[in-house]
Amino acid sequence: MTLRALWIISHEKGENAAVRFSRRFSTVEHRAKRLAGPCYLAVPEDNVILQHLLTELGLADSDKPYVALRDDCLYRPGAPAMELHVDGPEKGALWPVLAILHGPLVLACLPLADAPPEPRPPLVSLLSVSQGLTLLAGLQTFLLGSGSKPDGEGLASRLAMLPSVLLQICPLGTPLDVPPLGPPATPAGPAPGGTQKQPAWKTGVHRGRPVVNVALLETVRSMQYGNRSRQDLWDVYGTVTCKCEVEGVLPNVTVTLSLPPNGSPLQDLLIHPCVSSLDSSILTASSVDNCDSSAFSGPYKFPFSPPLEPFRLCSYTSQVPVPPILGSYQLKEEENQLRVTANLKLHESVKNNFEYCEAHLPFFNRDQMGVVEVKVSSGQLDVSKEKNLLVWALGQKFPKSREVTLEGKISFSGPAAGPADPLCTELTAYIKMYFKVPDTTLSGCSVDQHSVQVYSSAKPRIVTSRELQSNDYFIWNSTGSAPVSVVVFF
């Protein structure tokens, strides 16, 4: 696998974007020109790549409600392997452009596809795609470390080191220690398990005591209508990710997930292929079928030999009896004012210890927000008149009653300065919740240090964590009228 070009781009939520580093490999470009023939398209300047890449990733023109290249129904997002249409005298497309977005950085590269440009081979058949993404993941670890937001000086120093690092790990555009092309050679004898070699481009090789990190993350979605004729909806999606930081041979590991005695079985399990053996009854539970008492309820054991990079061990869904935060929302129009009433209640089964908890109340499709006379029983209210948005920051804890209220009036005057959205009036007005609760899960699924077994003489340190966070958590206005009163829940 060889690279035609590499880019490191910094941005702040799509704004103030700039190419912080770029590198082109002329020898690889010469090969690309010979391979493509008359269909050859040169790599354009960095500013052209920046514009098209941000548009393809949906980061450009964030203030515009509609951009054809980003929002058209015929547009099919292709990340992380994309096609960039280049304007100018040499109109054409660069393919496949690989990009990963993490924190304030976009890491992108253009590998050389060792195949004729037409007809295009399927991406799954191109070894350069998977190897290019793995190289970008290694560079991401080098630039950002274990966190997603390094300090400015640390990032600048690593970017300054990047030219010399690339000379060592990717000379002349060819990453070192990648699998050779062609069919694998037949081994003369059985190979020992777990003897995976650390690639040269994996600059973040662990030194010191080995560490095995297992993180359990549950995401909850909800649609609450505040209407007895409409059934509230919610679901839970969980993922377990693992990262083994060892020096030398990777050990065999077994991770066990446990449920409380009255917990619902995990459903729709998807397992990473590195898992060596599995009880077939684990895979029978499905959210499509009615769950019965005979369904497997744990413990769930996953023995595996870990890959070199962090990976998702498994994912699942779970049926829980209630959502973590129950809410109601009433929005009534009175001449040029809105009367707003909201109530939020934290369920008793959820730990009252948030990393953050916010309720966003948008008022798009209206005149510019004027006088705001709104009181909250707990937390702090921030008013963004430019965006016609109220942000109710509830902090780290609900009060002892586990219930909070918001009530008041809002007036509007002048032209609207924020985005217009016809879905934010009458019955289609909503509250959107953003929260994260550490050291808890809604299903009760857990993993601790004692449930992780590592078969190694090095005695690695075992780190486990679990957390619950929201995604698409809506509380709809229960008063008013709307031309369409059906909300589809995905």
- Rounded to an integer, the average pLDDT of 183-194 is 40
Looking at the DSSP bridge assignments, the partners of residue 245 are 211
Contact 253, 451 (CB under 8 A): no
Can you give the pTM of this predicted structure?
0.63
SS3 475: strand
Q: pLDDT tens digit string along 77-119?
A: 666 888 888 765 456 788 899 999 887 889 999 999 877 777 7
Q: pLDDT tens digit string along 235-273?
A: 999 999 998 887 767 789 999 999 998 888 898 899 998
Closest listed residue to residue 272, CA positions, set 298, 235, 228, 310:
310
Q: For residues 439 and 215, what is the distance between their CA atoms, to the nearest angstrom? A: 10
- Joined tokens for residue 177: 């220690």
SS3 105: strand
What band does 206 get if pLDDT is binned at 50, 70 and 90? low
Please determine, for residue 123, whether its predicted confidence score (pLDDT) is greater than 50: yes
Please determine, for residue 219, whether its predicted confidence score (pLDDT) is greater than 70: yes
Looking at the DSSP bridge assignments, the partners of residue 236 are 220, 318
Query: Residue 362's Cα: distance from chain center in Å?
Result: 24
Closest listed residue to residue 316, CA positions, set 489, 465, 462, 442:
442
Contact 140, 105 (CB under 8 A): yes
What band does 483 get if pLDDT is binned at 50, 70 and 90? very low
Closest listed residue to residue 159, CA positions, set 21, 19, 7, 18:
21
Q: What is the mean pLDDT of the chain?
A: 82
Looking at the DSSP bridge assignments, the partners of residue 466 are 216
Q: Which residues contact 447 (CB under 8 A, 6 or more apart)?
A: 214, 216, 240, 255, 256, 257, 258, 464, 466
Q: Which residues contact 214 (CB under 8 A, 6 or more apart)?
A: 240, 241, 242, 255, 313, 447, 452, 462, 463, 464, 465
- Name the percent of the chain lying above pLDDT 90: 39
Please determine, for residue 17, whether its predicted confidence score (pLDDT) is greater than 80: yes
Please determine, for residue 196, whether its predicted confidence score (pLDDT) is greater than 60: no
Side-chain half-sphere CA neighbours of 273 within 13 A: 0
Element (H, E) at 12: strand 3-12
Q: For residues 221 and 473, what is the distance between their CA atoms, to the nearest angstrom? A: 5
With tokens 């590198």, the residue in question is 23
| H helix and E strand count, the chain | 5, 21
- Rounded to an integer, the average pLDDT of 164-168 is 88
Q: Are strands 461-476 and 211-224 parallel, antiparallel or unpaired?
A: parallel
What band does 54 get if pLDDT is binned at 50, 70 and 90? confident
Please determine, for residue 186, whether its predicted confidence score (pLDDT) is greater than 60: no
Q: What are the percentages of helix, strand and coil residues in the chain, rounded to 5?
A: 15, 35, 45
Domains and CATH numbers, the chain: 2-173 (3.30.450), 211-322+442-474 (2.60.40.1170), 325-439 (2.60.40.1170)
